[in-house]
């Protein structure tokens, strides 16, 4: 296959896409033949398949309706995505690779925002299990996540600690 | 405390400043809307029959919904600086339940200056109508 590259930016973009695509294949090969993994199948260090979603205006509108129309009005007024939308969507996107038992709850959460994100952007999500604990009836999962824009720049990172019912 | 001030300067902020509180009355409708908006349909949030049989005894709000209220307070206080350079670290202490009134508040704890950047360190919390801490933590904004 021959690509005609108009400029360096296009070449870089293509290179990033190729790297991303190889990473997708790499992490999927560690999974469960594409099926969601259960707590028992997870190991510390497991990397979730890279996944993407688009933050269009309808998503933002639905989110703002849920959290209260006045929420993050600054972000809305300036056409930027409230960062908590990215956090919520990234968590949801990654959790599709897991079978979390009903009743799982959040114990703690860390979030850091790095860039303003314009509405309409596609976010690539990366995540990994950094800790898995099982003591008696207590089951704990620590997941680190990164959300990247189309240029593979990190816009948000986070760490979630989840408590799973036994 | 300046509100939605994009030109916020470190000199505008002082140790001990209270952040503008956010008060929200949580309903099951809000929780259901949040489930649809976020795609998180864990039955502990939306299935009252299932949730009643768990140790929690009923549905609870998504933790991320309460963090959205917290982020609203930070965005109101610090505007764009929060949205592009904010950091939040919290623990979920108790569930927020339907019919709870949640008050999110915060205070500037310290301001550190390193090179050309000022770090505003805040304590943040969300309490229910009984004064019980639902979420506690720290937030940092780079100015």
Contact B44 A104 (CB under 8 A): yes
Assign domain B13-142 to its CATH superfamily: Hotdog Thioesterase (3.10.129.10)
What pLDDT is stored for residue B24 in this prediction? Answer: 95
Length of chain B: 143
Tokens coding A91 = 């968590």
What pLDDT is stored for residue A3 in this prediction? Answer: 38
Buried b (16+ CB within 10 A) or exposed e, B126-137: bbbeeeeebbeb
The answer on pLDDT for B4 being more than 60 is: no
Residue bearing the bigger pLDDT, B10 or A105? A105
Strand partners, B128: none
For tokens 């917290």, what's the residue?
Answer: B70
Contact B64 A91 (CB under 8 A): yes
What pLDDT is stored for residue A137 in this prediction? Answer: 81
**Angle (CA) B129 B130 B133, round 5°:** 90
- Rounded to an integer, what distance in angstroms lies between the CA atom of residue A83 and that of residue B80? 11
Contact A92 B39 (CB under 8 A): yes
Considering only CB atoms, B64 lies closest to which of A72, A88, A113, namely A88
CA distance B1 to chain A (A): 16
- Residue B94: other Cβ atoms inside 10 A: 15
- The tens digit of pLDDT for each residue in B56-93 reads 999 999 999 999 999 999 988 998 899 999 999 999 99
Length of chain A: 166
The set of residues, in sequence order, having a beta carbon less than 8 Å from that of A18 and lying 6+ positions away, is none
CA distance A163 to chain B (A): 11
B17 touches chain A (CB under 8 A): no
Contact B40 A110 (CB under 8 A): no
- Rounded to an integer, what distance in angstroms lies between the CA atom of residue B68 and that of residue B72? 6
Contact list in B for residue A83 (CB cut-off 8 A) is: 71, 83, 86
Tokens coding A139 = 């089951």
- The tens digit of pLDDT for each residue in A1-32 reads 333 344 545 544 444 444 444 333 333 334 55
- The tens digit of pLDDT for each residue in B96-142 reads 999 999 999 999 999 999 998 999 999 999 999 999 999 999 999 99
The answer on pLDDT for A33 being more than 60 is: yes
What pLDDT is stored for residue B102 in this prediction? Answer: 98
Alpha helices, DSSP H, located in chain A? 8-29, 57-67, 73-77, 83-95
Phi-psi region of B79 (alpha: psi -120 to 50; beta: other; left: phi over 0): left
The set of residues, in sequence order, having a beta carbon less than 8 Å from that of A135 and lying 6+ positions away, is none
What pLDDT is stored for residue A2 in this prediction? Answer: 34
Give me the residues of B, 36-55, that contact A with CB < 8 A: 36-40, 42-44, 47, 50-51, 54
The answer on pLDDT for A131 being more than 90 is: yes
Query: Which residue in A61, A103, A114, A157 has the most chain B C-beta atoms within 10 A of its own C-beta, making it the best mutation to test that interface?
Result: A103
Q: Going from the N-terminus, what domains does chain A have, and what CATH number goes with each? A: 8-164 (3.10.129.10)
ipTM: 0.92
The answer on pLDDT for A130 being more than 70 is: yes
- The tens digit of pLDDT for each residue in A70-127 reads 555 555 555 788 899 999 999 999 988 888 888 889 999 999 999 999 989 999 999 9
The answer on pLDDT for A139 being more than 60 is: yes
What pLDDT is stored for residue A127 in this prediction? Answer: 96
What pLDDT is stored for residue B137 in this prediction? Answer: 98
Q: How far is CA A142 from its chain centroid?
A: 14
Segments making up each domain of chain B, as ranges: 13-142
Considering only CB atoms, A83 lies closest to which of B36, B51, B71, namely B71
pTM reported for the whole predicted model? 0.85
Contact list in B for residue A106 (CB cut-off 8 A) is: 62-64, 92
What pLDDT is stored for residue B133 in this prediction? Answer: 98
What pLDDT is stored for residue A77 in this prediction? Answer: 57
């Amino acid at each position: 296959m021959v690509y005609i590259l108009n400029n360096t930016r296009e070449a870089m973009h293509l290179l990033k896409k190729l790297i991303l695509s190889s990473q997708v294949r790499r992490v999927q090969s560690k999974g469960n033949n594409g099926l969601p993994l259960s707590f028992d199948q997870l190991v510390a260090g497991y990397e979730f398949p890279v996944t993407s979603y688009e933050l269009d205006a309808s998503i933002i509108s639905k989110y703002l309706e849920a959290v209260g129309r006045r929420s993050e009005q600054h972000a809305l007024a300036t056409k930027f995505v409230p960062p908590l939308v990215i956090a919520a969507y990234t968590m949801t996107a990654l959790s599709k690779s897991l079978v979390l038992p009903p009743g799982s709850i959040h114990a703690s959460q860390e979030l850091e925002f790095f860039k303003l994100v314009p509405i309409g952007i596609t976010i690539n999500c990366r995540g990994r299990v950094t800790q898995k604990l099982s003591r008696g009836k207590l089951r704990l999962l620590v997941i680190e996540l990164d959300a990247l824009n189309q240029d593979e720049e990190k816009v948000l990172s986070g760490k979630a600690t989840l408590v799973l019912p036994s | 405390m300046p509100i939605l001030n994009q030109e916020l300067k470190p000199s505008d902020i002082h140790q001990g400043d209270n952040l503008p509180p956010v008060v929200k009355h949580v309903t099951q409708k809000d929780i259901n809307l949040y489930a649809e908006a976020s795609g998180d349909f864990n039955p502990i949030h939306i299935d009252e029959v299932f949730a009643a049989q768990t140790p929690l005894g009923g549905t609870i709000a998504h933790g991320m919904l309460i963090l959205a209220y917290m982020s609203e307070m930070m965005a109101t206080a610090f505007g764009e600086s929060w949205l592009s350079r904010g950091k939040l670290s919290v623990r979920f202490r108790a569930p927020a339940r339907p019919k709870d009134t949640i008050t999110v508040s915060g205070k500037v704890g310290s301001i550190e200056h390193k090179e050309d950047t000022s770090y505003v360190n805040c304590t943040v919390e969300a309490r229910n109508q009984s004064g019980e801490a639902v979420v506690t933590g720290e937030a940092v904004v780079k100015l």
